[in-house]
């Protein structure tokens, strides 16, 4: 399957709608129909890998997108991710990290668009829980999607690589002129976004070698879903 087909599948079925740069892409088919994709790439911060496994940044990857349709067979997620991990281990990588977002996304109208996740499939595959990432503030668009700080900066100065977010904004009837946008973007942020406090994502890891495993912290209990972020509490 081509890179564009994977991107389109994620745009259609994942709440973030975007595909980060990928080193490896895997697809899951059921009865010749595409029912899942997994994208492994380089994390934003090299230390997510180097501090976790004691390796170079190129010796590990992050599972950055995992999307399965309801049509996937039972236990499809654990089967699919387990297959991906075995393939990556045979490639000689040190390990894989991934993050699970426990906070649901709610539209401006109060509709739930994403439930909170604690990484149940990662726990089922014997990952090591590494705690939370740093808390941060999120800027949400009316549909509940996140407009991150890096994207905002790229829009302000007119950097390339903003076509996808401009198209997403246009679908929400929030159109920006081409090139650098200053006052227009400030007006959009003030009128059409809201800020929420995020407690930090849950980090998991799989080490593929004894050397990498020695860098992992001691085993601690897996987290459970925080009732404060239950969808009914947030509606």
**Measured distance CA(128)–CA(117) in Å, rounded:** 16
**What is the tens place of the pLDDT at every residue in 112-168?**
888 888 999 999 999 999 999 999 999 998 988 888 888 888 888 888 878 878 888
Q: 3-11, long-range: CB within 8 Å, 24+ apart, which pairs? A: 5/34, 6/37, 6/39, 9/34, 9/37, 9/67, 10/37, 10/39, 10/65, 10/67, 11/164
CATH of 3-135+199-234 given 3.40.630.30, 3.40.50.1220, 3.40.1190.20, 3.40.50.300: 3.40.630.30
**What is the tens place of the pLDDT at every residue in 170-184?**
888 888 888 888 888
Please say if the pLDDT value at position 230 is more than 60: no
> Helix axis angle, 149-157 relative to 183-192, nearest 10°?
150
Q: Which two tokens stand for residue 166?
A: 């401009």
% of the chain surpassing 90 pLDDT: 49
Please say if the pLDDT value at position 18 is more than 80: no
Provide DSSP, 98-115. Answer: EEE--S-EE-TTS-EEE-
Q: Which two tokens stand for residue 24?
A: 């490896």
In 10 A of CB 66, how many CB atoms?
A: 22
- In this prediction, residue 1 has a pLDDT band, given cuts at 50, 70 and 90, of low
Average pLDDT, the chain: 88
Stretch(es) of the chain classified as CATH 3.40.630.30: 3-135+199-234
The pTM score is: 0.83
Of 186, 101, 112, 99, which is closest to residue 144 (Cα–Cα)?
112
Please say if the pLDDT value at position 229 is more than 60: no
99, 204 contact by CB (below 8 A): yes
């Amino acid at each position: 399957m081509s890179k564009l087909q994977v991107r389109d599948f994620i745009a259609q079925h994942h709440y973030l709608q975007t595909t980060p740069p990928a080193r490896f892409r895997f697809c899951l088919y059921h009865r010749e129909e595409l029912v899942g994709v997994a994208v492994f790439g380089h994390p934003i911060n090299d230390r997510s890998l180097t501090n976790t496994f004691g390796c170079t940044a190129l010796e590990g990857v992050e599972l950055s997108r995992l999307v399965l349709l309801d049509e996937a067979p039972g236990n499809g997620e654990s089967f699919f991710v387990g297959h991906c991990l075995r393939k990556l281990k045979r490639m000689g990588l040190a390990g894989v990290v991934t993050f699970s977002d426990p906070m649901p996304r709610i539209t401006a109208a109060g509709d739930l668009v994403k439930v909170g996740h604690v990484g149940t499939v990662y726990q089922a595959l014997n990952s090591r829980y590494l705690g939370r990432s740093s808390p941060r503030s999120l800027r949400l668009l009316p549909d509940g999607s996140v407009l991150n700080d890096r994207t905002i900066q790229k829009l302000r100065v007119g950097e390339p690589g903003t076509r996808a977010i401009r198209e997403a904004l246009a679908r929400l009837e929030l159109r920006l002129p081409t090139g650098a946008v200053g006052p227009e973007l400030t007006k959009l942020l003030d009128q059409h976004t809201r800020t929420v406090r995020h407690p930090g994502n849950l980090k998991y890891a799989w080490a593929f070698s004894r050397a990498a495993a020695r860098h992992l912290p001691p085993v601690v209990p897996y987290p459970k879903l925080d009732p404060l972020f239950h969808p009914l509490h947030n509606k």
